[in-house]
Every structure is written in C-alpha cells, then in structure tokens.
Chain A
Amino acid sequence: MTILSDPRGTMPMRSGIGEADYGTPKSDSDVLVNVTIDGQSHLVPLGTSIMRAAGEAGCDIPKLCATDSLQPFGSCRMCIVEIDGRKGTPASCTTPVEEGMVVRTQTAKVAKLRKGVMELYISDHPLDCLTCSANGDCELQDMAGVSGLREVRYGIGKNHLDAPTDSSNPYFSFDESKCIVCNRCVRACDEVQGTLALTIEGRGFNSKVSPGGLNFLSSECVSCGACVQACPTATLQEKSVIDLGMPTRTVETTCAYCGVGCSFNAELRGDELIRMVPTKTGGANEGHSCVKGRFAWGYASHNDRVTTPMMREKITDEWRVVSWDEAIQFTATKFKAIQEKYGDNSIGGISSSRCTNEEIFVVQKMVRAAFGNNNIDTCARVCHSPTGYGLSTTFGTSAGTQDFKSVAHSDVIVVIGANPTDAHPVFASRMKRRIRAGAKLIVIDPRKTDLVESAHIKADYHLPLQPGTNVAVINAIAHVIATEGLIDEEFIAERCEPSQFKRWRTFIELPENSPEVASAQSGVPAELIREAARMYAGGNNSAIYYGLGVTEHSQGSTMVMGMANLAMATGNIGRDGVGINPLRGQNNVQGACDMGSFPHELSGYRHVSDNAVREQFEMLWDVKLLPDPGMRIPNMFDNAISGEFRGLFVHGEDIAQSDPNVKHVYGALESMDLVVVQDLFLNETSKFAHVFLPGTSFLEKDGTFTNAERRINRVRPVMAPRNGKQEWQIICEIAQAMGYEMHYENSAQIMDEIAQITPTFKGVSFAMLDEVGSVQWPCNDAAPTGTPIMHVDNFVRGQGQFMETPFVATEERSNRKFPLLLTTGRILSQYNVGAQTRRTKNTTWHTEDLLEIHEADAAMRGIIDGQKIAVTSRIGETILTAHVTERVPAGVVHTTFHHPQSGANVITTEFSDWATNCPEYKVTAVEIRPADSSAPATNTLDEVLAKV
C-alpha cells in the first residue's frame, strides 16, 4: 500500500485555516522553568506539557489524540519522546516540563515507534485519500506523512472499513469507517460543550464512538460542532465540505445571532462560503460555537432574500421593483411631505440590534440630524431597556460588569430569568464547566430549565417563583442578608453613598420584605429563599447572570436595581467572579444602546438635555439638535393611532411580529402614510410597508458588533453585498436626499466618528481592532487596552447608589376567566422571530412553537400532548400545539415565538415596565381549550383527580 504524504507540507491545523494547534492547553503559571528540546533551551511556564513547549519552540511533535482545546489524553502514542535520565518513551502530551529537563523529539528510536503506531492505524483505515472529503485537512494523513510511513505490512484482516455512516444530522455526517477512536470528539462533547452526549461504546477492537441514541439526530447531541471541530479525520465532517470541497481562504468575522458574539473564521472557496469555524482566539467563545453560529448561516443565500428595492403607493398594492434612486428619492420626498403637513415630530425611526454599530450610529444620526427630531428608538426597548435604566441608576452606566471569562472564578452563580442553555449556549458551556468544577448554582425561574436539573448539572437551589414576582423574591433575599448580619459593611463604607444605603436598609428590613411575605406572593417557600440568600452572601465570589425573565416585566427596572443592591450589599462587584451580568438577547443589543439609539440619549449614554454634550454633536454634525427626548416605540404606535405620527423608518426589525399586542401594532402601522422597511426578507412588518429597502446579511457587512460583555468585535465582509450597497450607504443617501449632508468613504470612518464623539470608544478604530482582535469598552486614554471588569476601584457614577425597590404586583393577574399565566422564551435551534433560522435546516429540530403545559392543567382541560389548543388572553387568541410537561409548574404555561403563524404576540398585552416601557412579555393571563372546541373547559380539578 502507498501512503499519501501531507499535501500541504505543514503540521495539522484542523482548528481552522491558519490557526496553530499546540496540542495541549496553555499553562496559566507565572513560574518559568528551563527546558532543553532538541538541543535548544527554552523558558516555559510551569505545567506546560512537553508537547506544547516543543510546539511553541517550533519543534512540532506528531500527535493524533491531542489538541489544545482539550486536556491531554495520552492514548494515540504518536507523541512519544525521549527524556534524558528517564526510561522509556513517555507521551509528550501528558508529561509536563520540569526544570533542567532535556527532551529529544526526533530520535531514531521514537521515529521507528511512531511509524509502527501509524502503520497500525492505517491498517484499519480506508485509503481513499484522493477522494476523501478531508483530503488536505486530515491529521491522520498529515501524520502518516510526518512519520514517513510508506507501506503497511499487515494484510487484509478484521477491520472497520465497511462500518456505516450516520447522516442523520442535517449539518454533519459520522463516517465510522474513518474513525481512529482517538476520543477527541467524546472529550470535546464533555470538556468544551458539556453535553456529554458522546461516549466510547465497547472494548478493544469493538470500541466505537456512540451518540447514545439511535443516531446523532435522536441523541442528546446539540449540534454545537465541537466534535466536528475536534475530529482529526473525515469521520465527523461538515456536509457542506463533503458536498462542495475544502475551503481555500478565510475571513475572520463575528456571529450575528445572540449576545455572546462568537468569533468565527468564515472559510470559503472563491466566493462560496463552505463552513464557519469558531476561532480559538475569539475572546467571547475561545473556539466554541453553537448550532446557530456554526451551521445556521444558509439564510444569507436563501431564495427568499430580496435584493432590489421595492415600492407601492398603498399597502394593498402589489410590490413594484424600482431603482435605488427612485426608492431613496420617494422615501425622502414622502418623509419631508409628511413633516411639512404634520410637523417635524410626525416621523421617526427604529434601529436594530441585529445591525452593526456603524449602521446603528448612522440611523440615529439620520433621525436626529436629517429628520430633525429625537424620535429614534431601538428594539432594545423591548428587551433590555430596564438593564439600561437599572444599572445606570445604581452603578452609573448601562452595561454588564464582567467579561465572560469571569465566571470561571465564581463560587456561587445565580441565574435569574435566563435559560443560557438554549439562548446563550456558548456562554452556558463556560458556566456549566465552572459548575461541574464545584461552583454552587441558584436558579430563580418559574420553569425547570436545564440548569435546574439535567445530566451532569443540578442546581443547589431552584426558586420556582410565579411569573411577575421577581422583585418580591429579590427583596426577600436582600432582607435575609440585611437582617442576618451578612452585609459587607466595609465595602459599603468605602464604595457606596451612605444616605442612600441607610434609606435602603430601613426599607429592606421592613417585615413586608421578609421571605414569609414573599413566599405568599411568589409561591417560593420562605426557607428556600433564606437558604439561597445565605449561599449568595456566603460565597467568596458570587455572580448574578440574568436575562429577559428579569427585564420583560412591569417591574423590570426595579428588579435590575434590586439585583444591583444585592451585589453592592455583599461586596460582589469590581473583581473576577462576581458582578451583575445581563445576557443580551441579540448580537448587538449592547452596541445599539451604546450608539445613542434611545430617544433620550446620545452615544455613550449622555442625555440629550446636556448642553455641553449636545454642543459637541452640533459642532461635529453641523446641525441644531433638540434638547428633549423623542418618542419611544410605544409612544410612536400610540401617536400613530391618534393621527399625530405618520411616517416610520424600520431598520431590520419585524415589529409586527416581535412587539407585544400585535393588533395594536397593526393598527399603528396601518395608520401611517409611509412605512419604510429595511430588511433581508419580506416579513410581517413589510405587509404594512410602502417602501422595502433590501438589507445586508452579517456575511456582507463591514463594521463592528458589541457583545454582552462590552466586547467590540469586527464584522468583516465575507462576500459582496447582494443588494449592491452597504446599509450605512443607503441611510446616508436618504439623509442626503432629505437635505442633510452625510457622507462616509467607508465604515471605518464611521467608527472614527463614533470614537471622536463617544468617550468610552475614544481608543477604538478598525485598525486597532484588526491588531488586537477585540476590545471591551471603556477603551480610552484611561484604559487603552479596554476594560474587562468594570467598577473595580470606583463605580462609574462615583459611589454606588442603593435604590429602594418596593414590590408592586403586576395588574396582569390570573383570574377565573384567564386562570393560567403565560410566559415566553427561546429554544436552542431557533432565534427570535425565526426570520433567519426558519430558513435553515434548524427547522429539523423545531418546526413549530409549542405550548408547554403542566399535566394537571392539561388533564383538567382534557388536553393531551400534541393536541392543537386555543390560547386566549383578554387581548386575543392563537392556536398552538400542546406539549404536556413538568418543566412548567401548574398554573404556568410557556411558549416560544419563532414562527409567525403561532402569533404568540397576538395574545401578549400592552402592560410594560414602569420606567422604560419594556413590554411585559413574561406575564399574560390566559385560558386554554382544545382548538376544536368552542366550549369553555368544564373539567374541575376534583374531577381530574378523581379520574387519576
């Protein structure tokens, strides 16, 4: 047999084109030891493996089972070396360097042994290298070349060459015949992802990788791609590579799904995207990914993409394809005509957290400078605006306090109203790694999410509160801390405003905030609240992570302040492992807020009424700006219905599907004279639009996203814009057509303007980001390399401000007519309104939105699993499919909102957060009945129990 040599003549780089793999993880030790490798001496950190030390010194040691994203395993025997003074040939991956150690990596003895090992591997491996999908990207092929193997002496015997291929997963296949049982996939599933879906089944010759279930699709595999990433052969291979061939070039960019903001190498052949590979140097993800970022990018080239501008006079007319000039002129002329007739305040815009900082910045600039008003709002209004209010009030700025890495130092982790396993999966893996290593976990959530209990993770405390009672519970936790002497008096004396603290302490110690009272309000046993409070206060480093289950309530802002109070009261701010950390829903929620997308703030969270700040913008933009806040999204809708607001520019947001009480939204949109939608696809909102401007996908954008840890990441164009223009260019052209000169040569110039006018971004530029990879704001003269952790010595506002947080029950309550409380959330494979993920193979896992209902509630209504059911609130009715489960408690139902036909927001209400008007998506009183029955449910609980 003839063995193909390494076609690239390089050492393995399966981690992605151009990324080196040193075989074992880097050591964090500050202690250096001197080691001699192949005659050269090197200083390396204590704890470094010989393999890594050699690799960093340029002496690559052959390997198969080792990769630097995984702990050393020592099974393949390819990395053996000789060490002076030691017997045998130890594996270099599992042997750490020692002071004075002398290592020889390329002796005749180890070469012979490696060749023998390789010969055994190859004796049971298909020799179809030329037609193999991994040809050119196969570590086995590379190692065969490196070992100098030229023939295999063993004849055809018992082998695995006819082993089957599992193609059940829509994105990758598992070709068992090519598996060398190196365990890398199994270890990646364990160590990187934390799902532990894979195992090695059988012993000896019968050992094989198994996904546990019938196949990968039916198993617990979450399709994160970690196993594919880790596989050194073509065993686990992307189907896109199998179909299209190996990529030849790479562009580093940032994922456009959730607020984790993972860095990826987009790998292409020519202009065709072959695969997305997470980069190990990505600050947010460090080489990991989820099913959306790794695989669900096909929507960008989906046939539904609209790539030409379209117009129509009336929303009942057919769309007419027009030129860019015509669309832009019509838009500008019509907006101006509306303003002439109804006043300057009669139009406005909504920016999108899906877009880049640069695009968002020019949208808000267009509204403030060209429209001449402050009627700019952002979709962050409907998700994390309470975070902005609460954290600004208490700490001084609207941002999470930590970087993601910080969780590795947490001793107690509190997760409130968030389900990171589904919504922020890459961060969830990081968090679970810490929990499995011993951190305590408290989950405050009505549902039994995976964090409460799943394979290998179990929360120490689950506080299953009734939707709408967050503030009662957080106050009760603070009450325990205050009344049991658990307050960090020293921290408060040094860091917080004494008068506010005194006021808060008097308030929080009132009996009305006791666990007993909170128990009656929330349904959480008082003792559970006490024990959780003691655990949080007693941890050396306690951190709070939260999601939309905190913010999307009538007391969202109060709850954010309640959590901030808790962190200050226990001194859990300003160092690794602690803090208050919003898990942002969309890729650039943080950036949209930073860029001045709220109607009351200019970029960098500076109020429009600040004369000095406004003057800076006026000088730079050469325009007079208004000193008063503009309309929020709900104000725009209300004013549209009353006839005062007549024109809206909607940038990349499907408000007719995603905003609450959509009938109200429909009414507002129908009332307007001009609705302009800029998006990738025609959507629910475009049904009410007069102009449709095609947008660009993240693969076409050139700019930056800012993730939930304030990390500014470059988004680089992987391909040319399918619509022919960058979105910021389109915005500039509308502004110019309206008479305001707005011009940039490129998006780097926009960032330069952002940096010029925004103190927290002063040190940021594309050139800087290209050099350092990413940076966390504030990045300025005081922090030239960015700020991973905020409020270290002082709070941004100076002293931390405690705020009293009285619990005010929502008006949306269950009653005889609507006895159940509906809450909403996301699922792993789908994303928000599904515009992207529904246009990918992710629909394999989630074809429709389901309504989770407890078996007692289902039985009482004669509902069985899988049945179509009508869900009715005081606002409207929709039809969903029932999923009977114990994940929700009796009295609570839950659904997702990924499919427009489900119409989850047909039934959500107009109630909102008192401070920010963030909608109360998480609490809607509903009743449920079988969809084929118009009669109300008649079964009583007694009748049901009698049957049981």
Chain B
Amino acid sequence: MDVAILTRMAEQIELNIPVHEDTYLRISEHLVKFWTPQMRSDFYQHVTKNRKDFSATLNKVVDELRAKANA
C-alpha cells in the first residue's frame, strides 16, 4: 500500500488523539486494532527510514509497535 496514504492516515490519527504522555500508546493501540500487519510493517519501514520527517510521537509509535512485535 502506498506509504503516502499510510502516512496521511497516521497523521490524522495523531491529530485527533489528544496530547498526553500516553498518546503514542493510544495511537499504537489503534494501529494494532485496526491496521493490517502489512500496513503496520510498511509504515514502520517508512518511518524508520525517514525519522526526521515524522513527529516525535509517531516515531515513538513505530518503536512501540516494534517493541511489542506488532510491526
């Protein structure tokens, strides 16, 4: 799936989940609950290759996904 679409989806989710200390957890839970493994994997690959293009929160999200073996 086009990573631009995944990026847009993830950024929309980030915008809509209020900022708290646990925001990255809520986003990663959302991705685990609703995204296919392929989508999570593609997004992980894309973010880790282009970390500076993504917010700190989304960087933490993909790290959390990898840490829990969800990406």
Contact = CB atoms under 8 A, between A and B. Distances in A.
Interface of A: 345, 503, 507, 554-555, 557-558, 599-600, 607, 609, 628-632, 635, 638-639, 641-642, 644, 804, 806, 808, 914-917
Given A642-B1, A642-B2, A555 B16 contact: yes
A600 B33 contact: yes
B36 A808 contact: no
Interface in B5-53: 5, 9, 12-13, 15-16, 18, 20, 30, 32-39
B36 A629 contact: yes
Contacts of B18: 507, 804, 806
Contacts of A630: 36
A599 B39 CA distance: 14
Interface residues of B, number: 19
A915 B34 CA distance: 9
A554 B12 contact: yes
A803 to B, nearest CB: 9
A638 B15 contact: no
Contact of B13 (A629, A631, A642, A915): A915
Given A642-B2, A915-B30, A635 B13 contact: no
A915 B9 CA distance: 9
B13 A638 contact: no
Given A628-B36, A644-B38, A914-B15, 14 more contacts: A555-B16, A599-B36, A600-B33, A609-B33, A630-B36, A632-B34, A635-B1, A635-B36, A638-B1, A642-B2, A644-B1, A914-B12, A914-B13, A915-B13
A29 B13 CA distance: 53
Contact of A629 (B9, B12, B35): B35
A600 B34 contact: yes
A916 B9 CA distance: 10
Contacts of A642: 1-2
B55 to A, nearest CB: 15
A518 B34 CA distance: 31
A631 B36 contact: yes
Contacts of B15: 808, 914
A503 B18 CA distance: 11
Contacts of A554: 12
B5 A345 contact: no
Contacts of A503: 20
A642 B3 CA distance: 11
A882 B35 CA distance: 42
A721 B28 CA distance: 48
A359 to B, nearest CB: 25
A665 to B, nearest CB: 15
A601 to B, nearest CB: 10
5 contacts: A507-B18, A630-B36, A632-B34, A641-B2, A915-B16
A639 B37 contact: no
Contacts of B33: 600, 607, 609, 629
Contact of A806 (B5, B16, B32, B34): B16
A639 B16 CA distance: 25
Nearest to B6: A638
Nearest to A639: B1
Contacts of A638: 1-2, 5
Most chain B CB within a 10 A radius of its CB, from A554, A557, A629, A916: A629
Contacts of B12: 554, 914
A503 B19 CA distance: 12
